[in-house]
């Protein structure tokens, strides 16, 4: 009876003789396993995003208004105006709070004293209502005021992470920081958000009066409006009112607006996630099937090529089970090799998708175990037939084979 | 130790049937050195492979070391081949992807011999056939004579009762043939039973008995 260590050695010595063949055979399995890992990661990542969004906003009253991206429209300086939120609130009884947002690119933030150490953060130019709409709370100081907005005040509210980065020991209130080389005074610090999975990204945010932010970013574009309705029932009304008002106020240009609720946004994420997992899952399934058949094929070729050798092994005293083990071992080893390659590629792919989709890359021990387990099962499944064919050869006949 | 009675072997059936053996009776006592000769197609290899438990006869009795071989299961036959029988073939039949040491270890692996003991035994055997310095070479890196010596070392791995050799010198030049026959001679002197098929009278001359086959039957026997 062969022990496991001997089996591994013999399998390795046999596969080593055909390195290129082994690697090529495993490509299908590798793609399949990479796909399986990506599916798991995408599924978990999408779910994490939904959960963290719910945690963060915690509001079913939220909605936002954007240019109709589906028609290829993007925000320009005529899409929204700074006065829109106030006017919509006045005209629609369904709308409770409303804020305009000018979202800058990632900006450089640094202390006046050091010009080396800069921190990247996303800059929100907005007005006072945002704190309520986004469900933010202040740890100290104050948020942006209407006066800040009208007077282009050079003030900024920073999040807890940024406060820790910039002022680990001091009180940030009243301190000056440079944002894109404009000095701003810190007037408020936000509380640490309830820990969400998005924290892994460590994205820092800061908030300035929208007028001031536009000056700094040298733009007149407002990217979107967001707000809350007075009640859940009023949500559709709030959205349609907002759109109607916007259309009449910006009729000089033909703008189309869409309103989205938080629920719809999450549905979108869910839909995209499930499409992605279905597509990748299907590709992975096909690849695993094709890969498995490839392994089976190469093992059948090996059995034919080595018929004489099998006869010899039997002459030396190999039993059915020994031959079976040896060939099954080779099939499993091939699939494991593919599985390992696929695991590396899959984990890389999961990271890439996570980066592109802005969700945390979730690779767990389970993913790795899944990949290994799957490879072994495929190896056994597709190796069984060739191995049993090898094992059932009669020794004399096999030895006569040329 | 070996006794066969009325051994026949038929390949195929109906019009295509080939009668490779047509009733062979033979006894080989322990320690005997038998050479089998005869024209091509006379059934020598078939006979040897039945004696070696590589295939079963169509009819007839076969007793090996007191056991009725016909009644044994496939796994029992495998065990018999592993522990009691050794084979040497015309085309060496070494495992091309494994080194010399591993080739000799193979029967010991199937016998479940622990690895250090196995290694020691394989090394000893290879030293006995003069290849103690070629342990890590692949078969393709050896000459024909050297390959056949590895095959002999492998056949001896589990210290078998009988060695079956089917034209062991058929692919070798005269010098290598003589070297190989020297080894067989030594094995014989050490008391091992040897059954060898050959076409060459020079080779057969090493044996104590020469058996002549024709058309699947023993037609003549000479004893020294
Ligand atoms: N598997 C088989 N199927 C059909 N016929 C076979 C088979 N094996 C052997 N034979 C036939 O049986 C007969 C005896 O073959 P065997 O190989 O025993 O001859 P041999 O005496 O060893 O010949 P050689 O000296 O050429 O090796 C031959 O006619 C051969 O064609
Ligand atoms: Mg022959």
Domain borders along chain A are 4-53+268-399, 74-255
Any idea what the CATH number is for the domain that residue B120 is in?
3.40.50.300
Q: What is the mean pLDDT of residues A272-286?
A: 83
Q: Is the CB of B42 under 6 A from ligand 1?
A: yes
Query: For residue B5, what are its two tokens?
Result: 């009675």
Residue of chain B whose alpha carbon sits nearest to that of A326: B110
The reply to whether B174 falls in a domain is yes
How distant is the Cα of B95 from the closest Cα of chain A, in angstroms?
7
Alpha-carbon distance of A124 to A149, in angstroms, equals 13
pLDDT digits (tens, 9 = 90+) for A384-396: 999 998 999 899 9
pLDDT at A401 over 80: yes
Binary contact (A397, B55; C-beta < 8 A) = yes
The reply to whether B155 falls in a domain is yes
Q: Atom 25 in ligand 1: which residue has the minimum CA distance?
A: B40
Number of other CB atoms surrounding residue B2 within 10 Å: 20
- Please give the distance of CA A401 from its chain centroid, rounded to a whole number: 56
Q: Give me the pLDDT at residue A55, please.
A: 61
Alpha-carbon distance of A128 to A97, in angstroms, equals 9
Residue B38 Cα: closest atom of ligand 1: 21
Q: Is the CB of B40 under 6 A from ligand 1?
A: yes
Sheet holding B18-28, edge to edge: B18-28, B2-11, B59-64, B67-68
Residue of chain B whose alpha carbon sits nearest to that of A3: B112
User: Which residue stretches of chain B have pLDDT < 70?
Assistant: none
Binary contact (B75, A10; C-beta < 8 A) = no
What DSSP line would sit under B69-137, residue for residue?
A: GGG--HHHHHHHHHHHEEEE-TT----TTS-HHHHHHHHHHHTT--HHHHHHHHHHHHHHTT-TT-TT-
pLDDT bin (cut points 50, 70, 90) of residue A198 is very low
Torsion of CA A47, A51, A56, A59, to 10 degrees: 110
What DSSP line would sit under A294-335, residue for residue?
A: HHHHHHHHHHHHTHHHHHHHHHTT--HHHHHHHHHHHHHHHH
Residue B44 Cα: closest atom of ligand 1: 21
Number of other CB atoms surrounding residue B191 within 10 Å: 8
Is residue B112 within 8 A of residue B78, CB to CB? The reply is no
Binary contact (B55, A6; C-beta < 8 A) = no
Interacting residues of A365 by C-beta distance below 8 A, sequence separation 6+: none
Alpha-carbon distance of A382 to A292, in angstroms, equals 6
Is residue B62 within 8 A of residue B13, CB to CB? The reply is no
The reply to whether B116 falls in a domain is yes
Binary contact (B78, A318; C-beta < 8 A) = yes
Phi, psi (deg, nearest 5) at residue A34: -55, -45
The reply to whether B64 falls in a domain is no
The reply to whether B138 falls in a domain is yes
Three-state DSSP at A42 gives helix
Alpha-carbon distance of A227 to A129, in angstroms, equals 8
B70-77: long-range contacts (C-beta < 8 A, 24 or more apart)?
B74/A319, B74/A320, B75/A319, B75/A320, B75/A321, B77/B53
Q: Is the CB of B45 under 6 A from ligand 1?
A: yes
Q: Is the CB of B14 under 6 A from ligand 1?
A: no
Query: For residue B120, what are its two tokens?
Result: 């020691």
Query: For residue A107, what are its two tokens?
Result: 């900006």
Q: Give B159: exposed, middle or buried? Use CB within 10 Å, 0-12, 13-18, 19+.
A: exposed
Q: Does A392 touch chain B (CB under 8 A)?
A: no
DSSP 8-class letter at A393: S
Alpha-carbon distance of B49 to B107, in angstroms, equals 18
Strand partners, A206: A123, A158
* Proximal ligand: closest to the CA of B89: 2
Query: For residue A381, what are its two tokens?
Result: 């499944």
pLDDT digits (tens, 9 = 90+) for A2-52: 788 999 999 999 999 889 999 999 998 999 888 888 887 877 777 777 776
On chain B, the residues whose CB falls within 8 A of the CB of A398 are none
A251-255: long-range contacts (C-beta < 8 A, 24 or more apart)?
A252/A78, A253/A78, A253/A79, A255/A67, A255/A73, A255/A78, A255/A79
How distant is the Cα of B58 from the closest Cα of chain A, in angstroms?
14
The total number of structural domains in chain B stands at 1
Q: Is the CB of B44 under 6 A from ligand 1?
A: yes
> Half-sphere exposure (CA, 13 Å, Cβ side) for A376?
6
Q: Is the CB of B43 under 6 A from ligand 1?
A: yes
Q: Is the CB of B17 under 6 A from ligand 1?
A: no
Residue B216 Cα: closest atom of ligand 1: 14
Strand partners, B163: B86, B194
* Structural domain that includes position B36: 29-48+74-223
Q: Give me the pLDDT at residue B159, please.
A: 94
Q: Is the CB of B55 under 6 A from ligand 1?
A: no
DSSP 8-class letter at B193: E
On chain A, the residues whose CB falls within 8 A of the CB of B81 are 314-317, 395
pLDDT at A61 over 50: yes
Report chain B residues touching chain A, CB-CB < 8 A. 49, 52, 54-55, 74-75, 78-79, 81-83, 87, 89, 93, 95-98, 102, 106-107, 109-112, 115, 154, 158
More confidently predicted of A268 and A193 = A268
On chain A, the residues whose CB falls within 8 A of the CB of B93 are 308-309, 312, 399
- pTM of the complete model: 0.73
Residue in B11, B166, B212, B213 to alter for ligand 1 test, most ligand atoms within 8 A of Cβ:
B11
Alpha-carbon distance of A235 to A232, in angstroms, equals 5
Alpha-carbon distance of B194 to B188, in angstroms, equals 7
Pairing of strands B85-88, B162-166: parallel
What ipTM score was computed for the predicted complex, to two decimals? 0.95
Alpha-carbon distance of A98 to A82, in angstroms, equals 11
Residue of chain A whose alpha carbon sits nearest to that of B110: A1
On chain B, the residues whose CB falls within 8 A of the CB of A321 are 75
pLDDT bin (cut points 50, 70, 90) of residue A200 is very low
The reply to whether B66 falls in a domain is no
Q: What is the mean pLDDT of residues A274-298?
A: 87
The reply to whether B110 falls in a domain is yes
Q: Give me the pLDDT at residue A73, please.
A: 79
Best probe of the B interface among A313, A315, A324, by most B CBs < 10 A, is: A315
Q: What is the mean pLDDT of residues A340-357?
A: 84
Alpha-carbon distance of A306 to A288, in angstroms, equals 26
Alpha-carbon distance of A226 to A266, in angstroms, equals 16
Q: Is the CB of B11 under 6 A from ligand 1?
A: yes
How distant is the Cα of B74 from the closest Cα of chain A, in angstroms?
8
pLDDT at A195 over 70: no
pLDDT at A84 over 70: yes
Q: DSSP 3-state helix, strand, coil percentages of chain B (rounded to 5)?
A: 40, 25, 35
In angstroms, the Cα distances linking B194 to A175, A347, B130 are 101, 61, 21
Q: What is the mean pLDDT of chain A?
A: 86
């Amino acid at each position: 009876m062969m022990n496991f260590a001997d089996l591994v050695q013999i399998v390795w010595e046999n596969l080593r003789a055909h390195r290129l063949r082994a690697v090529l055979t495993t490509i299908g399995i590798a793609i399949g396993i990479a796909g399986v890992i990506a599916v798991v990661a995408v599924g978990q990542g999408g779910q994490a995003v939904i959960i963290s969004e719910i945690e963060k906003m915690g509001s079913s009253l939220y909605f936002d208004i954007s240019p109709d991206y589906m028609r290829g429209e993007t925000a320009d300086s005529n899409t929204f105006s700074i006065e829109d939120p106030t006017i919509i609130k006045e005209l629609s009884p369904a709308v409770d709070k409303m804020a305009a947002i000018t979202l800058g690119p990632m900006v450089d933030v640094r202390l006046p004293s050091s010009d080396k150490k800069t921190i990247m953060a996303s800059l929100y130019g907005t007005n006072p209502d945002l704190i309520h709409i986004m469900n933010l709370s202040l740890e100290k100081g104050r948020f942006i005021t209407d006066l800040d907005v009208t007077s282009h005040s050079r003030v900024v509210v920073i999040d807890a992470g940024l406060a820790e980065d910039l002022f680990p020991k001091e009180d940030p209130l009243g301190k000056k920081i440079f944002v894109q080389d404009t000095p701003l005074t810190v007037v408020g610090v936000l509380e640490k958000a309830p820990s969400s999975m998005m924290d892994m990204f460590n994205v820092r945010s800061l908030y300035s009066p929208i007028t001031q932010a536009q000056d700094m970013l040298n733009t007149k574009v407002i990217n979107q409006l967001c707000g809350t309705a007075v009640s859940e029932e009023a949500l559709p009304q709030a959205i349609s009112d907002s759109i109607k008002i916007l259309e009449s106020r910006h009729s000089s240009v033909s703008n189309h607006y869409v309103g989205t609720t938080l629920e719809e946004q999450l549905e979108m994420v869910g839909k995209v996630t499930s499409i992605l997992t279905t597509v990748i899952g299907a590709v992975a399934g096909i690849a695993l099937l094709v890969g498995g058949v490839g392994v089976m094929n190469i093992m059948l070729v090996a059995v034919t090529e080595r018929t004489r050798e099998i006869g010899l092994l039997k002459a030396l005293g190999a039993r059915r089970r020994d031959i079976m083990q040896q060939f099954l071992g080779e099939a499993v080893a091939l699939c494991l090799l593919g599985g390992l390659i696929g695991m590396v590629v899959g984990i890389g792919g999961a990271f890439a998708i996570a980066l592109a989709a802005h969700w945390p890359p979730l690779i767990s021990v389970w993913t790795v175990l899944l990949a290994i387990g799957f490879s072994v099962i495929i190896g056994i499944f597709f190796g069984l037939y060739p191995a049993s064919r090898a094992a059932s050869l009669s020794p004399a006949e096999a030895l006569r084979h040329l | 130790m070996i006794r066969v009675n009325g051994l026949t072997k038929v390949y195929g059936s109906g019009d295509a049937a080939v009668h490779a053996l047509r009733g062979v009776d033979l006894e080989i006592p322990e320690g005997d050195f038998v050479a089998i000769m005869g024209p091509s197609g006379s059934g020598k290899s078939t006979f040897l492979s039945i004696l070696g438990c590589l295939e079963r006869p169509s009819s007839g009795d076969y007793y090996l070391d007191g056991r009725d071989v016909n009644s044994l299961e496939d796994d029992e036959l495998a065990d018999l081949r592993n522990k009691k029988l050794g084979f040497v073939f015309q085309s060496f039949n070494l495992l091309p992807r494994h080194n010399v040491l591993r080739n000799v270890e193979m029967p010991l692996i199937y016998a479940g011999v622990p690895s250090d003991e196995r290694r020691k035994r394989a090394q000893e055997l290879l030293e006995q056939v003069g290849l103690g310095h070629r342990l890590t070479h692949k078969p393709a890196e050896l000459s024909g004579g050297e390959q056949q010596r590895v095959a002999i070392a492998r056949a001896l791995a589990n210290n078998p009762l009988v060695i079956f050799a089917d034209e062991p010198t058929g692919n070798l030049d005269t010098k290598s043939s003589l070297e190989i026959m020297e080894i067989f001679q030594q094995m014989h002197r050490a008391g091992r039973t040897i059954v060898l098929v050959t076409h060459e009278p020079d080779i057969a001359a090493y044996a104590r008995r020469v058996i002549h086959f024709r058309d699947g039957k023993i037609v003549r026997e000479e004893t020294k």
